[in-house]
C-alpha cells in the first residue's frame, strides 16, 4: 500500500482524568481505504481515543485533522456531520424505535414536515437487504436479539456517507456467520475508499480483516505496524507489556512452592462443578484450596469476570453445584457469600466498589459492618484501630481516614477496597483486575500482598489481563476464552508464557 495522506490524523492527543492520564500524547493516523486495528488491553486508552475522535469527549491537548483540515468536535453530532460514523461497543440505538427509524433517524425522508413512512421503510429495507440482513424494518428494534441490533447499528453507520467508520468492538455479540458478513461489508467499504478503524479483542479477526494496526498501552502508542509485519505472539507481547524486573523474585518463590500445593491433598475450600450461567459463562469446574492462588488469564470478554461473579453470588448460577468446605451452597446474594468467608474486589472500582461520597474510614469498614448488621455497630475505638492499622499496612495515601474515597487516586482506591475485604478476614479473596489502571509502585505492592496473604493461608482467585502477573503470582493457572474455561495447569517453571499465550490466542489446549 502506498502512503497516501491520512483521512483522519490525530496528533499529540492527551486526556487527563482526575485520577489517571488516559491518553498521553497519542498520535493516530487513519488512511483512506484501509481497515486499521486499534488494539490494547483494558485501560490502555482505546475507548478514550475513540471518544475524542467522535466528539463524545474533548481532549485536553492535541489536534485532530480531517482530510488535512483541523477540526473540533464539541458534540457527537458535529463529528457525524463531518463524516465520522461510529458503532459503539454497546448497542447505542433506541430500542423502542423501529429498525427503519434507527437506521435513518435524523435523515428521515419528509414532505412538508411530515415523515414519509413508506419511503422511510423502503429506504431502510433496501439498506438492510444490501447487508443481507433478514429483518422486518417496521418492527421495533428490541424485538431482535442483541446480535441483530448490533448489525443494524453497523448498517446505520455505513448508510451515512461516511469518510471514516469507527467500529468499537462490534463483534463481541456476533456469531461466526454474522462476523463473516460484517467482514465482507467492511472490505467492500474499504475498497470504496472508506477508512475503517476497527477495535476488537479477538486477535484472529485482526489477521483476517485488518491492514494496519496501532497498539496502545497505558495511554501511549507502543507500536504502529502493518498486520503482515507482526505475528500473533508478538502482538500479544506488545499489548501486555514487559514484566517488572524487580518482581521476578516473587515468581521464583511462587513457582517452587506451587508443586507442593498441587500435590497437597488438602480438601478444596471452594469447589465448583458444572457451574455456569447462560449468556455469562459456560459451565466450568474449579477448585481452590487454602493458601492457593488460582490465576485466571484471558482477554477482556473471555468470561473471567462472569466466572468470578458466580463464585461470589453477585450473579446467580443457573447450572451446576458449588460447595464450600464440602457443603453444597446456593449463593443468592453477595451477603450469602460473605457469610461463608468469600470476598470479591470488582474490576470496576468506580461503579461496583467505591462509595465515593463516603469517607475512607466508612468505605473500609463497610463490608465488616454489613456482615454484622446495622444493629451491631463496630465500636468507634475498634473501627479506628482497624482502619488506621490497614491504612498503614497497605500504605493508603493520604493516610487520612476522613478524606472522601472518591478523591483517592486509582491505586489508593484499590488498596482501600483490599482493606475493606481484609478486615473481614476472608478465607477466599477474589481479585478481579486489581492492578488495572494504577501506577507501577502500587501495582508492585498489591502483588506482594497477594503472595504474603496466600502464605498466610488465604485462598485467592487472581484475575488479570497481564499474563506475566498471573504467571508470577499463581499456583494454578486457568485460561478463559470465548466465555469458556479452556484449560487449567499447575504453575511451574515448565509452564511458559508462549504456551499460555497460544492457548489464549487459539483456544486450543496443548
Residues between 183 and 222 that touch another protein (CB under 8 A): 185, 188-189, 192-194
Positions 117 through 176 that interact with another protein (CB under 8 A) = 117, 125, 127-136, 139-140, 142-144, 148, 156, 158-159, 161-163
Q: DSSP string covering 279-303, please?
A: TTEEEEEEEE-TT-EEEEE--TTSS
Piece of the chain touching another protein by CB under 8 A; list 104-112, 202-210, 264-272, 453-461: 104-112
Name the residue nearer to another protein (CB basis): 70 or 113: 113
Distance CA 263, CA 265 (A): 6
Residues 6+ apart with CB under 8 A from 143: none
- List 2, 374, 381, 510, residue binding another protein (CB under 8 A): 374
Q: How many CB atoms lie within 10 A of CB 434?
A: 27
Name the residue nearer to another protein (CB basis): 184 or 325: 184
Positions 464 through 493 that interact with another protein (CB under 8 A) = none
Q: Please tell me the total number of residues recorded for the chain in this structure.
A: 510
Positions 288 through 317 that interact with another protein (CB under 8 A) = 312, 314
Distance CA 377, CA 367 (A): 12
Piece of the chain touching another protein by CB under 8 A; list 96-104, 207-215, 244-252, 473-481: 96-104
Show the beta-strand stretches assigned E in 249-350: 270-277, 281-288, 293-297, 319-324, 327-329, 342-345
Name the residue nearer to another protein (CB basis): 78 or 230: 78
Positions 9 through 38 that interact with another protein (CB under 8 A) = 17-19
Distance CA 190, CA 304 (A): 34
Q: Is 440 in the site for another protein (CB under 8 A)?
A: no
Minimal distance in Å, beta carbon 380 to another protein?
Answer: 10
Positions 387 through 416 that interact with another protein (CB under 8 A) = 397-398, 400, 402-404, 406-409
Q: Is 353 in the site for another protein (CB under 8 A)?
A: yes
Residue linked to cell 468506580: 350
Q: Check residue 245 and report its DSSP letter.
A: G
Name the residue nearer to another protein (CB basis): 130 or 509: 130
- List 119, 243, 287, 352, residue binding another protein (CB under 8 A): 352
Name the residue nearer to another protein (CB basis): 301 or 353: 353
Strand partners, 284: 275
Q: Check residue 60 and report its DSSP letter.
A: S
User: Phi, psi at residue 310, to the nearest 5°?
Assistant: -70, -40
Instruction: Give the H/E segment covering residue 327.
Output: strand 327-329
Name the residue nearer to another protein (CB basis): 404 or 495: 404
- List 358, 449, 490, 495, residue binding another protein (CB under 8 A): 358
Q: Is 420 in the site for another protein (CB under 8 A)?
A: yes
Strand partners, 223: 215
Distance CA 172, CA 201 (A): 8
Q: DSSP string covering 402-449, please?
A: TSBGGGS-HHHHHHHHHHHHHHT--SEEEEESTTTTS-HHHHHHHHHH
Name the residue nearer to another protein (CB basis): 193 or 496: 193
Output the nine-digit C-alpha cell for 40.
490494547
Output the nine-digit C-alpha cell for 84.
465520522
Name the residue nearer to another protein (CB basis): 161 or 452: 161
Instruction: Give the H/E segment covering residue 179.
Output: helix 176-191
Minimal distance in Å, beta carbon 10 to another protein?
Answer: 19
Positions 322 through 341 that interact with another protein (CB under 8 A) = 333-335, 338
Positions 47 through 86 that interact with another protein (CB under 8 A) = 54, 56, 75-77, 80-81, 83, 86
Minimal distance in Å, beta carbon 492 to another protein?
Answer: 34
Positions 249 through 288 that interact with another protein (CB under 8 A) = none
Name the residue nearer to another protein (CB basis): 24 or 287: 24
Name the residue nearer to another protein (CB basis): 139 or 328: 139
Distance CA 434, CA 446 (A): 8
Output the nine-digit C-alpha cell for 87.
458503532
Q: Are 432 and 400 in contact (CB under 8 A)?
A: no
Amino acid at each position: 500500500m502506498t502512503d497516501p495522506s491520512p483521512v483522519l490524523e490525530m496528533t499529540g492527543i492527551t486526556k487527563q482524568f482526575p485520577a489517571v492520564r488516559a491518553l498521553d500524547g497519542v498520535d493516530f493516523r487513519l488512511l483512506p481505504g484501509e481497515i486499521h486495528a486499534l488494539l490494547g488491553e483494558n485501560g490502555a486508552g482505546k475507548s478514550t481515543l475513540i471518544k475524542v475522535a467522535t466528539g463524545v469527549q474533548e481532549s485536553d491537548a492535541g489536534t485532530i485533522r480531517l482530510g488535512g483540515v483541523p477540526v473540533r468536535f464539541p458534540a457527537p453530532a458535529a463529528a457525524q456531520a463531518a463524516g465520522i460514523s461510529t458503532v459503539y461497543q454497546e448497542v447505542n440505538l433506541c430500542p423502542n424505535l423501529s429498525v427503519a427509524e434507527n437506521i435513518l433517524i435524523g435523515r428521515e425522508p419528509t414532505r412538508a414536515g411530515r415523515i414519509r413512512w413508506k419511503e422511510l421503510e423502503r429506504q431502510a429495507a433496501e439498506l438492510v437487504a444490501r447487508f443481507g440482513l433478514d429483518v422486518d424494518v417496521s418492527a421495533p428494534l428490541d424485538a431482535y436479539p442483541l446480535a441483530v441490533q448490533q448489525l443494524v447499528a453497523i448498517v446505520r453507520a455505513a448508510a451515512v456517507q461516511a469518510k471514516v467508520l469507527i467500529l468499537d468492538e462490534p463483534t463481541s455479540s456476533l456469531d461466526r456467520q454474522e462476523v463473516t458478513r460484517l467482514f465482507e461489508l467492511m472490505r467492500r467499504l474499504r475498497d470504496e475508499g472508506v477508512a475503517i478503524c476497527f477495535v476488537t479483542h479477538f486477535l484472529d479477526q485482526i489477521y483476517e480483516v485488518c491492514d494496519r494496526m496501532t497498539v496502545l498501552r497505558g495511554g501511549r502508542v507502543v507500536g504502529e505496524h502493518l498486520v503482515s509485519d507482526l505475528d500473533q505472539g508478538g502482538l500479544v507481547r506488545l499489548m501486555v507489556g514487559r514484566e517488572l524486573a524487580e518482581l521476578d523474585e516473587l515468581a521464583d518463590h511462587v513457582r517452587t512452592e506451587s508443586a507442593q500445593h498441587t500435590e497437597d491433598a488438602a480438601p478444596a475450600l471452594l469447589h465448583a462443578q458444572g457451574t455456569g450461567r447462560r449468556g455469562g459463562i459456560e459451565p466450568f469446574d474449579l477448585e481452590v484450596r487454602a493458601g492457593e492462588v488460582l490465576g485466571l488469564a484471558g482477554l477482556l470478554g473471555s468470561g473471567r469476570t462472569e466466572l468470578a461473579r458466580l463464585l461470589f453470588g453477585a450473579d446467580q448460577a443457573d447450572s451446576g453445584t458449588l460447595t464450600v468446605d464440602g457443603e453444597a451452597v446456593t449463593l443468592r446474594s453477595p451477603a450469602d457469600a460473605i457469610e461463608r468467608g468469600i470476598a470479591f474486589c470488582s474490576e470496576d472500582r468506580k461503579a461496583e466498589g467505591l462509595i465515593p461520597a463516603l469517607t475512607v474510614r466508612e468505605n473500609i469498614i463497610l463490608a465488616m459492618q454489613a456482615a454484622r448488621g446495622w444493629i451491631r455497630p463496630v465500636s468507634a475505638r475498634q473501627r479506628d484501630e482497624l482502619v488506621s492499622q490497614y491504612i498503614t499496612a497497605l500504605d493508603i495515601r493520604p493516610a487520612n481516614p476522613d478524606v472522601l474515597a472518591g478523591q483517592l487516586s486509582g491505586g489508593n482506591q484499590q488498596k482501600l477496597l483490599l482493606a475493606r475485604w481484609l478486615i473481614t478476614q476472608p478465607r477466599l479473596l477474589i481479585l478481579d483486575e486489581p492492578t488495572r489502571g494504577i501506577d507501577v509502585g502500587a501495582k508492585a505492592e498489591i502483588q506482594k500482598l497477594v503472595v504474603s496473604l496466600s502464605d498466610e493461608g488465604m485462598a485467592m482467585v487472581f484475575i488479570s489481563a497481564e499474563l506475566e502477573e498471573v504467571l508470577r503470582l499463581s499456583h494454578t493457572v486457568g485460561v478463559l476464552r470465548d466465555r469458556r474455561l479452556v484449560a487449567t495447569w499447575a504453575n511451574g517453571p515448565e509452564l511458559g508464557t508462549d504456551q499460555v499465550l497460544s492457548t489464549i490466542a487459539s483456544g486450543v489446549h496443548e
